[in-house]
Amino acid sequence: MSIKKKLLLQHLLIVSLTVVLLETVFFLGLITYYYTGAADMLKNHAVSSAHFANRYLELSGTPLQQSLPKLKEHFQIPQAEMQVLSPNGNILYSTVGFSQHDQIKTPDMKQLDASQANSWIGKDEMTHERILAVAIPLEDQGYPVGILRYVASLKNVDAMVIKLCTFAVLIGISIILIVMLLSITLANSLTKPLLEVTNASKQLAKGHLETRMNEHYRGEFGVLAKSFNEMGSELLRHEKMKNEFISSISHELRTPLTSIKGWSETIMTGNLEKKEETKSGLQIILTETDRLIEMVEELLDFSRFTNETMKIQRQTFLAAPLLHSVTKQFEKQLLAKKQKIELQIDDALELYADRNRIKQVFINIIDNAIKYSEQPGTITITCRQVKQAFVCDCTDQGIGIKTSDLGNIQKMFYKVNENSPGAGLGLAICQHILQLHHGKLTITSSYGKGTTISFTIPLLSSSFKSSGGSD
C-alpha cells in the first residue's frame, strides 16, 4: 500500500473514531438532559401532588370518587394529562376527558411505592404515540385508594432530540470531510518530495548526474533534498575528475613514451658507431623511464589514497640526515636551473613518523620549488621545533602562484598551467600523507616573487611512542 493511502486511512480511522466517541458522549448527554429531565420534573410534581391529595383525603374524610374535581383543580398541569385510577388500574378520571376502559398495565404501574413515583417511557397502546408516564399511589389513612398518574407526549421532545442529533451527525461528517481534505493535502506534501527523490535517484542511476531536486522544502525534506543534491554534485565532480584524470594521465604518459620510442628508433636505425649520440639517446630514454616510474608511483599512491588504503608506518629517525640526502638527490636539477639550497635544521631534531612518506613530502616540495623557478635563485629550507610540533618552511624565488589558483593547487589533478610537467597530484598526496600524521600543509605565495610551502607535524611524546600508537 502506498504511503499516501496509508496516511489517509490512518487519519480517517483516527478522526472517525474520535468523532464517533464524541458524538456518543453528546447523544448520551442529550438523552439524559431531555428525557431524564422531563421524567424528574413530572415525578417531583406527582410526589408533591400525591402528598397533598393524601392529606386532603385524610382530613376531609371525602372518598376519592367525590374528591376528583378538587384533585383536578389543584394538581393538573398543562404539560401533561392527569389521570386518577382505581388501585387495580382502571381510569376513574382523566383531564383529557377521554377514558380507556381496559386496565392500565404499563411498567410504571408495577410495584408502586407511596414515597416515590415510577416513570416509564414507551408507546401508548391506543394512540401509538411515544409517551412519558409517571404513577404514584394515593392513600387514605394509609390504605391505597387509587393511583395518580401523569402522561406527557414525547412528540416535541423527540423532535428536538432528533433535530439536535441530526445536527451533531452533520457536524461530525463535516469534520471528517474537512480532516480528509487536509489529510490529502498533507499526504501530498509528504509524498511529493518522496516521489521527487525516487525519480531523481532513478535519473542518477541512469547516469544523468546533473539531475537535482528542488531545495524549497522545509524541515527534513529540505535537508534530504540538499544532501541529495550534494551527492549529485559530488558524483559529477568525481566523474569529471575521472575523465580529467584519464585525459591528463594519457597525455602525461604519452610524452615520455613518444620520446622513448623516438630515441629507440633513432638508435636502432642510426649509426651505433656514433657513441656520443647513442649515449645521449640512451640517457634520455633512462630519464624518461624514470619519469614514467615516478608517475606510476604517484598513480599508485593516488589509488591508495582514494581507496583509503594508504597506511603509515612510524619509526623514530633524525630529520637532518634525511633532508641532507634528499637535497643531494637534486644536485643535477639545481645546477641545471641555477638554483641553490640553503638548509637550516637542528641536527638533533627527531621525528616519530613514516620515514619514506616524509621523504616523499620533502622530495615533492623541493622538486616543485626547482620546477617552478625560472630565474637563478635560492631555495631556503628551515626546519625547527615550535612547541610540540615539527615545522618546515620551503621558500623559493620562483614564478609564484596567483591568489585565484592558491586555493586549488592542493586539489587532485589541479595544475596552474596545463602544459607544465606532472599530473597535478604531488601536493594532494603530500597533504594526505601529512593528514595521516595529524599534520597540515599551508601555501603562501606572491605571484612573480616566490612561494613558501610549509608543513607541520606534531612531535609525539615518548609515552605515545612506547605505547605503540598507531594510525
Q: Which three cell numbers stand for residue 197?
A: 527523490
Question: Residue 18: which of 176, 165, 167 has the closest Cα?
Answer: 176
Query: Which CB atom, from 172 or from 424, has the smaller least distance to ligand ADP?
Result: 424
C-beta of 46 vs 423, nearer to ligand ADP? 423
Kindly tell me which of 35 and 414 has the beta carbon lying closer to ligand ADP: 414
Q: Please give the backbone phi and psi of residue 314, each rounded to the nearest 5 degrees, phi first.
A: -75, 150
Least separation in angstroms between residue 400's CB and ligand ADP is 6
**Min CB(398)–ligand ADP separation in Å:** 5
Of the candidates 212, 236, 238, 235, the residue with the CA atom closest to the CA atom of residue 225: 212
Q: Using the structure block, give the residue that is written with the C-alpha cell 528542488.
A: 214
Q: How far apart are CA 18 and CA 11, in angstroms?
A: 11
Residue 422 forms beta bridges with which residues? Answer: none
Q: Are strands 389-395 and 377-386 parallel, antiparallel or unpaired?
A: antiparallel
Nearest partner of 288 among 312, 270, 264, judged by Cα:
264
Is the Cβ of residue 49 or residue 368 nearer to ligand ADP in the bound state? Answer: 368
Q: DSSP code of 116?
A: B
**Nearest distance from C-beta of residue 452 to ligand ADP, angstroms:** 8
Q: Which is nearer to ligand ADP, 104 or 295 (CB)?
A: 295
* Least distance (Å) between residue 349 CB and ligand ADP: 23
Question: Least distance (Å) from ligand ADP to the CB of residue 451?
Answer: 4
DSSP 315: E
Angle at the Cα of 69 from the Cα atoms of 68 and 72, rounded to 5 degrees? 85
Judged by beta carbon, residue 130 or residue 415, the one nearer ligand ADP is 415
* Cα–Cα dist 302/293, whole Å: 14
Nearer to ligand ADP, 424 or 439 (CB): 424
Strands 389-395 and 450-458: antiparallel
- The least CB distance from residue 252 to ligand ADP, in Å, is 9
Least distance in angstroms from the C-beta of 465 to ligand ADP: 31
Q: How far is the CB of 453 from ligand ADP (least distance, A)?
A: 6
C-alpha cell at 439: 599534520
Please state the closest distance from residue 298 (CB atom) to ligand ADP, in A: 7
- Cβ-based nearer residue to ligand ADP, 164 or 406: 406
**How many H helices and E strands in the chain?**
12, 12
Residue 146's Cβ-count burial label (10 Å; 0-12, 13-18, 19+) is buried
Measured between alpha carbons, how far is 452 from 344 in angstroms, rounded to an integer?
A: 15
401 vs 457 by CB, closer to ligand ADP:
401
Nearer CB in complex with ligand ADP: 82/429: 429
Q: How far is the CB of 364 from ligand ADP (least distance, A)?
A: 6
User: Helix 319-329 and helix 355-371: axis angle, to 10°?
Assistant: 40
- Judged by the rule CB under 6 A, the positions of this chain that interact with ligand ADP are 364, 368-369, 372, 396, 398-401, 409, 414-417, 420, 422-428, 451, 453
Determine how many CB atoms are found less than 10 A away from the CB of residue 361: 27
- Cell 458524538, located at residue: 23
Cα–Cα distance measured from residue 132 to residue 108, given in angstroms and rounded to the nearest whole number: 10
Closest distance to ligand ADP from the beta carbon of 356 (Å): 18
Strand partners, 361: none
CA dist 307 and 309 (Å) reads: 5
DSSP 3-state assignment of 354? Answer: coil
Q: Which lies closer to ligand ADP via its Cβ, residue 138 or residue 365? A: 365
Q: Could you tell me which of 173, 156, 157, 158 has the C-alpha nearest to residue 23? A: 173
